Each structure stands twice: as C-alpha cells, then as structure tokens.
Amino acid sequence: MSKPHILLAEARFYNELADEQAAGAIEAIEEAGGTWERVAVPGALELPIAIKVAADGIVHFDGYVALGCVIRGETTHYETVCNESSRGLQDLALNHNLAIGNGILTVENWDQAWARAKRDQMNKGAGAALAALAVIQLKTHFGTK
C-alpha cells in the first residue's frame, strides 16, 4: 500500500475528547506511513456530510476517519444522533465505496467517553484510523477505487 492520505473529520462538541481521539488517530496513521488532514464540524450529525463534501472535492483522500462523541442525556436526541450519524457513515461507505473508520463514541457518561478516547486506555481514535487503513488495504488488494 502506498502512503495513504486520510481525512480526519472531527465533531468538536467536546473539544478535549476530540483532541485526544485525533491524537490517537494521527499516531496510527503516521505509524502506517500515512498523511492526514483535519476538518472540524460542530457535532456528530455533521460528520457524514463533511466526509461526502471532501470525497466530492478536488483533494484525493484514500480514507476517512469520523471522530466524535455522543453522551446520553435526558432526551431521545441521543438515539437520533447515534443512529443517524452511524447510518450516514455506513451509507457513504457502501454507496460510494469509501474507506471510513467510525470513531464516534456512543456512551452513557463522561467517564466512559474518556476511557474510550484516551490513548493509554481503549484508544478508539486509533481504532477508527486502523479500520480505515484496513479498508484501504482491502480496496487496494481488490483493485477498487
């Protein structure tokens, strides 16, 4: 696999969590010899459109990493954000043959969010980047674009 160029699309609703997730993703991409660019959106619902806009643009990306966090609140808005952001990413991946790593954390509370975001714990930012890199490798293997 040549040096993959990855877009990190970050939901910045929780800035500190976003930074930690991005740091994990960047470490994984650089360890794989890849390059990256970052773009920020307000929340998880905007991540699919950010990736679609980038995929339709003139800059070529081999893969995409969606990073964000949704923490359950007191209303059903949590389910809407979790389901629709994930559905949007999956639709993009399947309908447009995009290599997307889904790093949107869907958690009950702040402690769970940090346990998943921290690089010395679950490091889900790196996990999402590794997922995108694996799909890029799969696409290369089968000669698809």
Task: Extract the runs of DSSP E, i.e. beta strands, from the chain.
Answer: 5-11, 35-41, 63-71, 100-107
The pLDDT-based confidence of 145 (bands split at 50, 70, 90) is confident
Q: Is the pLDDT of residue 22 over 80?
A: yes
Segment 64-75 shows an average pLDDT of 96
Tokens in use for 45? 């619902």
Structural domains of the chain ordered from first start: 5-142 (3.40.50.960)
Q: Which residues are tagged catalytic? A: 77
Q: What is the pLDDT of residues 71-98, one digit of tens each?
A: 999 989 999 999 999 999 999 999 999 9
Q: How far apart are CA 105 and CA 87, in angstroms?
A: 14
Q: What pLDDT score was predicted for residue 93?
A: 98
